[in-house]
C-alpha cells in the first residue's frame, strides 16, 4: 500500500479534472460524468453502491431499479441517503438503462445473465456483483446454481474482476464478473504464496468468518437478530458456491490445480470478513521471509495493506473502506504459514470492488471515490 502523506491531494485532483473534463465517457450527458445504472438497488450491495457512487467525483447515478419498490423514492427506503439522492426506483425494464455508460447488477444470482446481453448489445458496459459470470465452465455453473446458464457464450468474454490480479483485462472489458466476498479475501491472502511457489498448493485451508450482511436483506430466519446475535456457527461445509469460484481463481493464480478446504462461518457482526488461511511451506526449500514476500508483492497496490510483522488485522479496521488488510505469520512449529486477510464484505467484497472495476473500465483513477477512511470505532 503506497503511502499518502496525510493531506488530501488537491493538486492531483485538479490536474486530473482539467485533463479529463468531458472525456471520462464518450456519452457525455452530465458534463464530465459517466452515466451509471444500478439494477437491484434495494438490497445491501445496491445501497452500498449508492453510498459510494453518490460521492464519486466522476460519475452520476441516473437509474436505480427495484421491482418491489419502483416509484418510491430511494431516500424514502434508505433514510441515510436523504439529502444525497433525489432518485426514484424504476422498473428493471426501464429503457433508460440502455443509455447508461455502465450498469451494475446488484441482483440475485440468475438475473444478470438474462438482462446483460441486451445492455452489452447497446454498448453499455456491465459489472455483475452476483455470481452469473464468475465461473468459466457452464457445466460447473449449472451444477452449483441449479439451472443452465442463460448465455454461456458470454462466460468466456467476461473478465473476473479481482482487479489486482487482472488489471489489464479489466481495462478493456465490456463485462466484468465482480468476485464474491469470500473469494476476494481468500485469493488476495493466498496469492503471494502461490505466485512465489513457496507453499504446497494442493494443501490449502480457508477458514472464513463473515458478518450477517453477507446474507443480504432477504428474509431468512437465520438472519434475524435474535438468531444471529451472540452466536457463531459454520455452514456450507459440505459444499458452498464460493468453493468452485475460489478454486478456479487460485488455479489461475498458481498456474496449476490447487487443493482447498473451505469452511465459512456466520458471525455476529454487521459487516466484515476475516479469512484465516493455512498453507504448508514447500518441502525441501528453505522458508522464505514471509513478511518481505507479502510486502513486496503488494507494494504497489492501493487497496491491499500488509501489516507490520506481529500485528494482526481486525475487521473493523476496514469497515466502510475498500481495503484488504493482511498479516502473515508462521505457526510456532513451522509446519504451516498462517495468513489473515480482512475486508468489508460490502465494500472490497462487493460494491467497492465493483466501483474499482468501473474506474478501471472507464479509464478513471482506480482509487476515485474509494478513498474513504474506515469508520473506527
Instruction: Give yes or no for residue 335 binding a copy of itself (CB under 8 A).
Output: yes
Of 350, 374, 19, 361, the C-alpha closest to 185 is 350
- Count Cα neighbours of 359 within 13 Å in the Cβ-side half-sphere: 21
Do the Cβ atoms of 121 and 90 come closer than 8 Å? no
Cell triple for residue 200? Answer: 504446497
Closest contact distance (angstroms) between CB of 117 and a copy of itself is 29
Instruction: Give yes or no for residue 4 binding a copy of itself (CB under 8 A).
Output: yes
Nearer to a copy of itself, 172 or 308 (CB): 308
DSSP state of 376: -
Q: Of residues 356-375, which lie at the interface with a copy of itself (CB under 8 A)?
A: 371-375
Instruction: Give yes or no for residue 329 binding a copy of itself (CB under 8 A).
Output: yes
Nearer to a copy of itself, 80 or 118 (CB): 80
Q: Of residues 153-172, which lie at the interface with a copy of itself (CB under 8 A)?
A: none
Q: Of residues 202-221, which lie at the interface with a copy of itself (CB under 8 A)?
A: 203, 205, 207, 209, 211-213, 215, 217, 219-221
If residue 36 lies in a helix (H) or strand (E), which one and from where to where? strand 34-39
- Interatomic CA distance for residues 133 and 151, integer angstroms: 9
Instruction: Give yes or no for residue 7 binding a copy of itself (CB under 8 A).
Output: yes
Give yes or no: 181 in active site. yes
Nearer to a copy of itself, 114 or 220 (CB): 220
Instruction: Give yes or no for residue 292 binding a copy of itself (CB under 8 A).
Output: no
Closest contact distance (angstroms) between CB of 329 and a copy of itself is 4
Cell triple for residue 36? Answer: 451509471
Instruction: Give yes or no for residue 326 binding a copy of itself (CB under 8 A).
Output: no
**Window contacting a copy of itself (CB under 8 A); options: 47-55, 158-166, 282-290, 348-356:** 47-55
- Interatomic CA distance for residues 228 and 197, integer angstroms: 40
For 238: left if phi > 0, alpha if psi spans -120 to 50, otherwise beta; the answer is alpha
Among 85, 100, 151, 181, the active-site one is 181
Cell triple for residue 186? Answer: 481468500
Do the Cβ atoms of 126 and 116 come closer than 8 Å? yes
- Interatomic CA distance for residues 47 and 39, integer angstroms: 11
Closest contact distance (angstroms) between CB of 120 and a copy of itself is 26
Listed in sequence order, the DSSP H helices in 5-136 are 10-20, 44-53, 74-77, 112-121
**Window contacting a copy of itself (CB under 8 A); options: 154-162, 176-184, 232-240, 353-361:** 232-240
Q: Of residues 260-279, which lie at the interface with a copy of itself (CB under 8 A)?
A: 260-263, 265, 267-272, 274, 276, 278
Instruction: Give yes or no for residue 23 binding a copy of itself (CB under 8 A).
Output: no
**Window contacting a copy of itself (CB under 8 A); options: 95-103, 118-126, 183-191, 328-336:** 328-336
Nearer to a copy of itself, 178 or 323 (CB): 323
**Window contacting a copy of itself (CB under 8 A); options: 48-56, 126-134, 176-184, 285-293:** 48-56
- Interatomic CA distance for residues 307 and 339, integer angstroms: 11
- Count Cα neighbours of 14 within 13 Å in the Cβ-side half-sphere: 4
Cα dist. 350→16, 49, 172, 185, 371 in Å?
A: 26, 9, 21, 11, 16
Q: Of residues 55-114, which lie at the interface with a copy of itself (CB under 8 A)?
A: 55-57, 60-61, 76, 78-87
Among 231, 257, 285, 292, binds a copy of itself (CB under 8 A): 231
Among 94, 140, 142, 227, binds a copy of itself (CB under 8 A): 227
Query: At which residue does the C-alpha cell 433514510 appear?
Result: 79
Report, as residue numbers or ranges, the catalytic residues.
Answer: 181
Amino acid at each position: 500500500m503506497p503511502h499518502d502523506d496525510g493531506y488530501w491531494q488537491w493538486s492531483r485532483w485538479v490536474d486530473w479534472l482539467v485533463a479529463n473534463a468531458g472525456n471520462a465517457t464518450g456519452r457525455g450527458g452530465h458534463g464530465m460524468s459517466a452515466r451509471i445504472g444500478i439494477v437491484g438497488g434495494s438490497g445491501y450491495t445496491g445501497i452500498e453502491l449508492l453510498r459510494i457512487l453518490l460521492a464519486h467525483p466522476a460519475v452520476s447515478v441516473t437509474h436505480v431499479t427495484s421491482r418491489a419498490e419502483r416509484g418510491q423514492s430511494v431516500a424514502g427506503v434508505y433514510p441515510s441517503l436523504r439529502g444525497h439522492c433525489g432518485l426514484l426506483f424504476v422498473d428493471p425494464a426501464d429503457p433508460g438503462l440502455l443509455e447508461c455508460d455502465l450498469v451494475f447488477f446488484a441482483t440475485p444470482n440468475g438475473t444478470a445473465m438474462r438482462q446483460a446481453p441486451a445492455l452489452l448489445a447497446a454498448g453499455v458496459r456491465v459489472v455483475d456483483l452476483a455470481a452469473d459470470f464468475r465461473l468459466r465452465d457452464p457445466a460447473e455453473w449449472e451444477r452449483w446454481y441449479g439451472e443452465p446458464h442463460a448465455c454461456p457464450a458470454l462466460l468466456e468474454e467476461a473478465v473476473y474482476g479481482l482487479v489486482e490480479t487482472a488489471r489489464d483485462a479489466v481495462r478493456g472489458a465490456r463485462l466484468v464478473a465482480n468476485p464474491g466476498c469470500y473469494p476476494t479475501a481468500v485469493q488476495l491472502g493466498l496469492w503471494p504464496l502461490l505466485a512465489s511457489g513457496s507453499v504446497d498448493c494442493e494443501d490449502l485451508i480457508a477458514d472464513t468468518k463473515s458478518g450477517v450482511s453477507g446474507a443480504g436483506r432477504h428474509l431468512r430466519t437465520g438472519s434475524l437478530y435474535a438468531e444471529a446475535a451472540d452466536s457463531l456457527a459454520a455452514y456450507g461445509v459440505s459444499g458452498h458456491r464460493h468453493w468452485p469460484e475460489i478454486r478456479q481463481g487460485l488455479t489461475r493464480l498458481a498456474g496449476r490445480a490447487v487443493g482447498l478446504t473451505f469452511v465459512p462461518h456466520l458471525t455476529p457482526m454487521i459487516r466484515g470478513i476475516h479469512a484465516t488461511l493455512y498453507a504448508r511451506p514447500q518441502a525441501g526449500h528453505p522458508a522464505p521471509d514471509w513478511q518481505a514476500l507479502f510486502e513486496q508483492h503488494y507494494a504497489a497496490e492501493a487497496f491491499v495493506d500488509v501489516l507490520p510483522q506481529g500485528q494482526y488485522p481486525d475487521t473493523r479496521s476496514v469497515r466502510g473502506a475498500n481495503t484488504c488488510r493482511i498479516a502473515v505469520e508462521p505457526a510456532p512449529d513451522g509446519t504451516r504459514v498462517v495468513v489473515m486477510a480482512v475486508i468489508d464484505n460490502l465494500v472490497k467484497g462487493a460494491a467497492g470492488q465493483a466501483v474499482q472495476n468501473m474506474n478501471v473500465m472507464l479509464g478513471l483513477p482506480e482509487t476515485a471515490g474509494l478513498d474513504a477512511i474506515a469508520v473506527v470505532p
